[in-house]
Structure 1
Amino acid sequence: MIFASDLDQTLIYSERSKGNVPAEEMEPVELYEGRHISFMTKRAIEKLQQLVTLTQFIPVTTRTPEQYHRVFGITDTFRPLYAIVSNGGTILENGQPDQEWNSIVRQAVKTHCAEQAEIFSLFDAIAAPHWVKSSRLCDELFYSIVVEREQLPIDAIEELKKQIAPLGWSYSLQGRKIYLVPEKVSKGAAIQYVKEKLQSGYVFAAGDSLLDESLLLAADYAIAPAHGELGRLKDANPHISFTKLTGASASEELLDIIIEQAGKRIAAGIV
């Protein structure tokens, strides 16, 4: 069995996104420029340690490989055999890129999706300094753009979505970041690849955002924190279970649920 989970705002949280969990109940898991910027609850770490004895834990994140390796609380503590990064564009095996997957994804993007320059030119046509703070091309695959969310030109953004969809690209807004991503780069396709490599028969998955939707659709059992993008679209996602709790407490709840579900399968001899 596999437990494939998004990281940010699913398992790990910033000080701002952790909710009302007291600081003394949190453990740092990410170091950046000399300071800790991401945390897990102590109980969530304990529960994840329990879960990895029952399942193969696979972190799944939109972070680039460099950003993922900063999360020492995952990479050093749990040492996952596989990690899916760059929104599915890169798969790491023992910390190194799987070259076969890299070739598959990049060829699919080249064949079926518009070139990056064309997409960014469409975005650049509506961009303005008062709401776009920075932008970068991640892993030579997708764009991550930091914005002032309250200043977004909603009508122009809606038009951008319509323009890029037929070009094989998608738009997602998460917190203060806009992601422009080729549709052939997906967490769902990546987990299917890893599932086949591991010859696993069952996937539990967790994630909070629209970029996690393909992962959750590919899973046999899917759960999302109530606070995320997907939590605001519950009626459109009947295949996903949702936590009752929000913030960092949601990570404990979803881990509890998956531990219970995995235990039942093991007890029944179904793995």
Structure 2
Amino acid sequence: MIFASDLDQTLIYSERSKGEVPAEDMVPVELYEGRHISFMTKRAVEKLGTLAGLARFIPVTTRIPEQYHRIFGITEGFRPEYAIVSNGGTVLVNGQPDQEWNGIVRDAVRTHCAEQSEIIGLFNAIAASHWVKSSRLCDELFYSIVVERDQLPLDAIEELKKQIAPLGWSYSLQGRKIYLVPEKVSKGAAIQYVKDKLDSGYVFAAGDSLLDESLLLAADFAIAPSHGELGRLEAANPHISFTKSTGALASEELLDIIIERAGKQAALQTK
């Protein structure tokens, strides 16, 4: 069995996004420029340890490799053999890129998706300094753009979505970041690759955003925190279970649910 989970705002939380959990109930899991910036609840760490004993834990994130490696609470605390980073564009095996997957993804992007220059050109045509703060090409695959969310030109953004869709690219807004991603770069495709590599028969998955949707669709059981992008579209996602809790407490709830289901699945497999 596999437990494939998004990290930010699914398992790990910033001080701002953790909700009403007291600071003394949180433990730091990420260090950046000398300060701790991401946390898990103490109970979530314990529950993840329990679940990792029942199913192979595979972190799945839109973060690029160097950003993922900062999360010492995951990389050192659980030492997962496999991790999926760069929104599925890179699979790490013991911290190193899987070259076979790198070739598969990049060949698919070159064959089926418009060139990066065309996409960023369309975006730059509507961009303005009062709402675009920075833009970055991540892992040579997709764009992460920091914006002032309340200043977005909504009509122009909707037109951009229509322009890039037939070019094989997708748009997602998460917090203060816009992601422009080739459709051949997906968490769902990456988890299927890892599942085949491990010859695993069952996948539990968790994630909060539209970029996690392909991961959740590829799973046998999928759950999302109710506070995320997917939670706002709950009626359109009948294949996904949603937590009642929000913030960091949602991580505890979803881990409890999967632990119970993983125990039952393990019992079935031993019969």
Q: TM-score range by the shorter chain?
A: over 0.9
What SS does the aligned partner of 1:21 have?
coil
Structure 2: gaps of 5 or more residues: none
Q: Does 1:238 align with 2:256?
A: no
Tell me what 1:30 maps to: 30
Taking the aligned partners of 2:121 and 2:23, their CA distance within structure 1 comes to 43
Amino acid at match of 1:91: V
Taking the aligned partners of 2:21 and 2:5, their CA distance within structure 1 comes to 21
Taking the aligned partners of 1:22 and 1:125, their CA distance within structure 2 comes to 45
Q: Does 1:19 align with 2:19?
A: yes
Taking the aligned partners of 1:25 and 1:241, their CA distance within structure 2 comes to 26
Q: How many residues align?
A: 271
Taking the aligned partners of 2:269 and 2:121, their CA distance within structure 1 comes to 54
Taking the aligned partners of 2:17 and 2:39, their CA distance within structure 1 comes to 10
Taking the aligned partners of 1:87 and 1:61, their CA distance within structure 2 comes to 6
Taking the aligned partners of 1:270 and 1:166, their CA distance within structure 2 comes to 47
Distance apart, 1:105 and its partner CA: 0.1
Amino acid at match of 1:101: W
Amino acid at match of 2:6: D
TM-score, normalized by length of structure 2? 0.99
What SS does the aligned partner of 2:77 have?
helix
Tell me what 2:152 maps to: 152
The runs of 4+ residues in structure 1 deviating greater than 3 Å are: none
Encode CA deviations 1:51-80: one digit per residue, 9 max, x unaligned: 000000000000000000000000000000
Taking the aligned partners of 1:265 and 1:133, their CA distance within structure 2 comes to 47
Taking the aligned partners of 1:82 and 1:213, their CA distance within structure 2 comes to 20
Encode CA deviations 1:196-249: one digit per residue, 9 max, x unaligned: 000000000000000000000000000000000000001110000000000000
What SS does the aligned partner of 1:78 have?
coil
Taking the aligned partners of 2:96 and 2:109, their CA distance within structure 1 comes to 21
Distance apart, 1:267 and its partner CA: 2.0
Tell me what 1:102 maps to: 102
What SS does the aligned partner of 2:179 have?
strand
Encode CA deviations 1:153-193: one digit per residue, 9 max, x unaligned: 00000000000000000000000000000000000000000
Taking the aligned partners of 1:24 and 1:172, their CA distance within structure 2 comes to 34
| Identity value in percent | 85
Q: Does 1:191 align with 2:191?
A: yes
Amino acid at match of 2:190: A
Amino acid at match of 2:213: E
Tell me what 1:129 maps to: 129
Tell me what 1:161 maps to: 161
Distance apart, 1:266 and its partner CA: 1.5
Distance apart, 1:138 and its partner CA: 0.1
Amino acid at match of 2:91: I
What SS does the aligned partner of 1:91 have?
strand
Tell me what 1:208 maps to: 208
Distance apart, 1:268 and its partner CA: 2.4
Structure 1: gaps of 5 or more residues: none
Amino acid at match of 1:96: Q
Distance apart, 1:129 and its partner CA: 0.6
Taking the aligned partners of 2:96 and 2:151, their CA distance within structure 1 comes to 39
Tell me what 1:229 maps to: 229
Taking the aligned partners of 1:20 and 1:75, their CA distance within structure 2 comes to 26
Distance apart, 1:109 and its partner CA: 0.1
Amino acid at match of 1:166: P
Distance apart, 1:270 and its partner CA: 5.6
Tell me what 2:180 maps to: 180
Amino acid at match of 2:17: S
What SS does the aligned partner of 2:58 have?
strand
Tell me what 2:7 maps to: 7
Tell me what 1:255 maps to: 255
